[in-house]
Amino acid sequence: MTARQPAQPVNGAGVPAGDPRLAKLSLNQRTTKSWSVREAVEGCVRAGISAIGLWREPVAEIGVAAAAKIVTDAGMRVSSLCRGGFLTTAGDEGRAALDDNRRAIDEAAGLGTDCLVMVVGGLPPGSRDLRGARRRMAEAVAELAPYAGERGVRLALEPLHPMYCADRAVLSTLGQALDLAEQFPVEQVGVVVDTFHVWWDPDVWTQIARAGARIASFQVCDFLTPLPADVLLGRGMMGDGHIEFPPFRRAVAQAGYTGDTEVEIFNAQVWATDPGQVLATMKERYIRLVLEG
Near its own copies in 95-124, by CB under 8 A: 123
Interaction mask 34-73, its own copies, x per CB under 8 A: ----------------------------------------
Residue 166: closest CA among 100, 88, 91:
88
Residue number with CB closer to its own copies (14 or 162): 162
Crossing angle for the helix pair 204-211 and 246-254, to the nearest 10 degrees: 30
Quick one: which of 12, 18, 20, 202 contacts its own copies (CB under 8 A)? 202
d(CA 29, CA 41): 9
d(CA 58, CA 38): 10
d(CA 71, CA 112): 10
- Among 48-56, 61-69, 186-194, 199-207, the segment contacting its own copies (CB under 8 A): 199-207
* Per-residue exposure over 177-191, b if at least 16 CB sit within 10 Å of its own CB, e if not: bbebbeebeeebbbb
Quick one: which of 243, 263, 270, 290 contacts its own copies (CB under 8 A)? 243
Amino acid found at 74? A
Quick one: which of 10, 17, 98, 166 contacts its own copies (CB under 8 A)? 166
Residue number with CB closer to its own copies (71 or 243): 243
Amino acid found at 174? L
Binding residues (CB under 8 A) for its own copies: these are: 1-3, 123, 125-130, 134, 161-163, 165-167, 172-173, 175-176, 179, 199-203, 223, 225-227, 229-231, 241-244
